[in-house]
Each structure stands twice: as C-alpha cells, then as structure tokens.
C-alpha cells in the first residue's frame, strides 16, 4: 500500500509485530458499515460517480457476506481489517475499489470502526445487565422477609433480609448501566472525514456520514478525532467498576457456600467437584467471575499506560487499544451471563441465615434505640449502657435476649420487660421502616418497583 515510497517489503519480525488482523478482524462488520456510508457520501457529493459507488457498494456487501459465512481468507501480509477488506474488494470489482479510500485515512477509519464496535457492545452489555437486575429483583421479592446477618468489617452488625441484600446489587447495576449510557452518549460522534489528522480538501459531507452511521454529529476537531481513545478508556473504566460489583457478589457466594456460613447453595450447574476429595462442591463459577475481574482491571491500566505519553495525533502505539478492549468487554459479558445464571440458581438456607442473624449481639442497636425512644436517654448514654449489657452477656457466653430483667436493671434500673420485644431479629428488621431500610415491607415494595421498571424497559426495547 506504500510501495511508491518503499523499495522492499518489511522484515519478517516487522510483519509479526505490525500486523493486527488476528484481532481487529472482529471489526469487519463495522468496517464495511463505515465504508458503505463513506461511499454513499462520496457519490452524493459528486466526488465519485454513482456508477463507481454502486459497484463499490455491491462489492463491499459481497465481502461482508464472505466474512459472515466464514469463506473469507484473512491475510497477515495485509496487516489489518481495512486493507484485507479493500484488497478483497479489488478482487471483486477491480481497480475502482481504489477510489473508496478517497478523502479518508486508516486513522479516521479505525477510530470510526472502534466507536461503532464499542457502541454496539455497550448496547449488548446493557441488555445483559438488565437481565441480571431482573434476576436479583425477582429473587429479592421472593425472599423479602428472609432474615440474615448484616455485616460490617465481616462481623455481625445488625439483622437484615436476604431480599434487601440482593436489592443492593440491583442499585449497583443501575449505576453500571448509567455509566455505560453516559459513555455511549459521549462516544457517539463520528470521526470519519478527519482523514489522517488535518481533514481533507475534498468537499465531503461529514454530517451525512455521521447520520448514516447513527452518530449524533461529526467530531469537531480533526486532530482530536484520530488521536482520541477516551471512549475506550471510559468503557473500560465502566467495565472495571461493573466487574468490581460482580466480584463482590461472587466473593459473597463463595463465603456463603462454606459450611462455616451455610447460607446458600448452588446446584451442580454452577459448581464442580474435586479430583481427590469426593465430598467437595466448589463454587467455581463464582470464583472465576471473581478472578476474571483482574483481566478487566488490567486492560484499563494497560490502555492508560499506552495513551499517557502520546503526542498528537496518531501513533502506532494506539493499535494496542484493541486487544485489551475486546478481551475486557468479552470477559465482562461472560461474567454477567454467568452471574445471572447463578443468581437464578441460588437457593438460600433460610433457617441457617435466621439462626446466625442474631449472633454477635446484632440487636444491640435495637436495644440502644429503645433506651432513647422509651427512656428518652441521650443516644451516647444509651450506647454506653448497651455496651455494658453486651459485655455482661459476652462474659456469660449468652445472647442479650437471654439476660434476665434483673441483670439488665443492675446496669440501668429503668429498663422494663418491654425491652425483650425489640431483641428478636424478626422484630428488628420489621422496625427498619425508614426509606431504603431493610423492613420486609420496604423490600417487597422496592423489589416490585424494580421488576415493574425493568419490565417497562424491556417492553420499550421491543417496541
């Protein structure tokens, strides 16, 4: 493609390090999509004849069909997807294929292809996250009243419900979807027409091309158009945060499945055994989601390092954006699908969770609140009194509810028999009626709200 300047071909190792077709061939559909829009614009503006563009367009569709059905032969000697497509186009339509590259460069071409691919992938990930939210919300509604321990520092803190715990992840995933939507909105500008870096002298219509490709507008600065990879960094950042959320729940599943917790169970669909220990049932799907998050974090860090020292505009370093983005988003998609399957498969052990919900003096805050509410004690004083009662119960290796009224009155004489009404875990969770609290009535309402909202989104998407 640059034979006029170079007298010989590249060294073998240069071809090895330079070629990107092994991974950027997944941009084939977007590359042809962009080329069809570019060709149509060239005809409309009179830069190319309608006859030439008709032949080019038919040829591009034929190339696309070959790639789709698996009969296309990719060549590493042609470096990338752009030259592979153009070379095959020439085989099909002849020398007129060379006119397609008028008023564009591979620099604006690849920037456009990548934006199209990332945009398509965001749309697919949003559908998956919607499904995962639905799985969490449906399970939360079913177990809205199932009491379990709530933890801080992985120590028993206060009783909550299993449904409330699951709804926390619905909220996290909503933010993930919001970040993806924000990233999509910002990337939806079309670089095509920026050419190599300075624009072009041909009378192109960039608005037409942008509209044809579903972009909101063309990019405003040709230098930024070809050198920007913010959209890739932003989608990787959003993916990394989402992976954190998936990994946190995967960690909880792993903990909860241990005999020491015994809170939940996964079926054989999402667990494996041991080659030596016949009793084992390992939560490997959860562990792999937890582990694969590292690949996504690494892709973000890798691209940040690639981009941090590049002067404007395009440098070949930027070819390193693709493998990380492709792998990270494919990995995220796999993890979301696996997590949706696990959430639907997950069976909580309601009795075990309830048994442990009261461990670690988890109703101590309820006791302190009663002192404030009934005895009108300042909270700091109530905190001190409750702490003394916890210490007394701990010294006797018993729970707060097992202390006698006389024991309690030795610490605070005004305590009455009514105190025992707030020390049960079910009473505790039912009392948490503040907005966003764990009361089963709240959880059912929030779960129903999310289920209805997600159903409306699904219906709107199908319309």
Active-site amino acid positions: 153, 274
Burial (0-12, 13-18, 19+ Cβ within 10 Å), 195: buried
Contacts of 425 (CB under 8 A, 6+ apart): 147, 159, 354, 357, 358, 362, 363
Give the span between the Cα atoms of 389 and 371, in whole angstroms: 12
* Number of other residues whose CB lies within 10 A of the CB of residue 364: 20
Q: Where are the beta strands (DSSP E) in 293-407?
A: 347-348
Q: Residue holding tokens 């409306």? A: 456
Q: Residue holding tokens 């044809």? A: 212
Buried/exposed code over 304-341 (b: 16+ C-beta within 10 A; e: otherwise): eebbeeeeebbeeebbbbbbbbbebbebbbebbebbbb
Is the CB of residue 443 less than 8 Å from the CB of residue 148?
no
Is the CB of residue 257 less than 8 Å from the CB of residue 345?
no
Give the span between the Cα atoms of 354 and 149, in whole angstroms: 8
Residue 208 Cα to chain centre, angstroms? 33
Tokens of 272: 């494996």
Instruction: State which H helix or E strand residue 151 sits in.
Output: strand 147-152
Cα dihedral 109→115→120→125 (10° resolution): 150
- Helices 321-345, 284-307: crossing angle, 10 deg rounding: 160
Burial (0-12, 13-18, 19+ Cβ within 10 Å), 121: buried
Give the span between the Cα atoms of 386 and 27, in whole angstroms: 64
Q: Where are the beta strands (DSSP E) in 50-134?
A: none
Give the span between the Cα atoms of 225 and 374, in whole angstroms: 66
Give the span between the Cα atoms of 378 and 369, in whole angstroms: 10
């Amino acid at each position: 493609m640059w034979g006029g300047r170079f007298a010989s071909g590249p060294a073998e190792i240069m071809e090895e390090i330079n070629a990107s077709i092994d991974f950027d061939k997944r941009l084939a559909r977007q590359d042809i999509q962009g080329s069809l829009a570019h060709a149509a614009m060239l005809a409309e503006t009179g830069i190319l004849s309608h006859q030439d563009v008709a032949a080019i367009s038919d040829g591009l569709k034929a190339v696309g069909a070959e790639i789709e059905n698996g009969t296309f032969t990719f060549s590493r000697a042609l470096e990338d997807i752009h030259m592979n497509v153009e070379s095959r186009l020439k085989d099909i339509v002849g020398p007129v294929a060379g006119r397609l590259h008028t008023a564009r460069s591979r620099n604006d071409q690849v920037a456009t292809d990548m934006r199209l691919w990332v945009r398509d992938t965001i749309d697919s990930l949003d559908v998956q996250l919607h499904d995962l939210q639905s799985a969490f919300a449906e399970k939360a509604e079913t177990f809205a009243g199932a009491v379990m321990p709530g933890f801080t520092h992985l120590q028993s803190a206060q009783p909550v419900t299993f449904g409330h715990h699951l709804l926390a992840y619905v909220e996290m995933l909503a933010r993930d979807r919001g970040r993806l939507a924000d990233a999509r909105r910002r990337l939806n500008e079309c670089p095509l027409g920026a050419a190599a870096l300075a624009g072009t002298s041909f009378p192109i219509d960039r608005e037409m091309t942008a509209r044809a490709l579903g972009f909101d507008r063309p990019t405003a600065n040709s230098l930024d158009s070809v050198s920007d990879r913010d959209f890739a960094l932003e989608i990787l950042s959003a993916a990394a945060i989402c992976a954190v959320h998936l990994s946190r729940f995967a960690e909880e599943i792993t903990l909860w499945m241990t005999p020491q917790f015994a809170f939940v169970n996964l079926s054989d669909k999402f667990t494996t055994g041991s080659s030596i220990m016949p009793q084992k049932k390992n939560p490997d799907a959860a562990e792999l989601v937890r582990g694969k998050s590292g690949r996504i974090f690494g892709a973000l860090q890798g691209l940040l390092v690639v981009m941090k020292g590049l002067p404007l505009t395009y440098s070949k370093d930027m070819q390193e954006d693709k493998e990380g983005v492709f792998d990270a988003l494919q990995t995220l998609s796999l993890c979301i699908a696996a997590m949706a399957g696990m959430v639907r498969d997950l069976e909580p052990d309601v009795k075990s969770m309830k048994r442990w919900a009261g461990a670690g003096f988890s109703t101590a805050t309820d006791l302190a609140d009663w002192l404030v509410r009934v005895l009108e004690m300042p909270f700091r004083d109530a905190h001190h009194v409750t702490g003394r009662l916890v210490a007394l119960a701990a010294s006797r290796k018993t729970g707060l509810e097992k202390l006698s009224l006389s024991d309690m009155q030795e610490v605070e004489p005004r305590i009455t028999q009514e105190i025992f009404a707030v020390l049960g875990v079910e009473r505790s969770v039912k009392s948490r009626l503040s907005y966003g609290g764990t009361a089963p009535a709240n959880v059912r309402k929030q779960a129903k709200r999310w289920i209805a909202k997600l159903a409306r989104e699904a219906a709107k998407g199908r319309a």
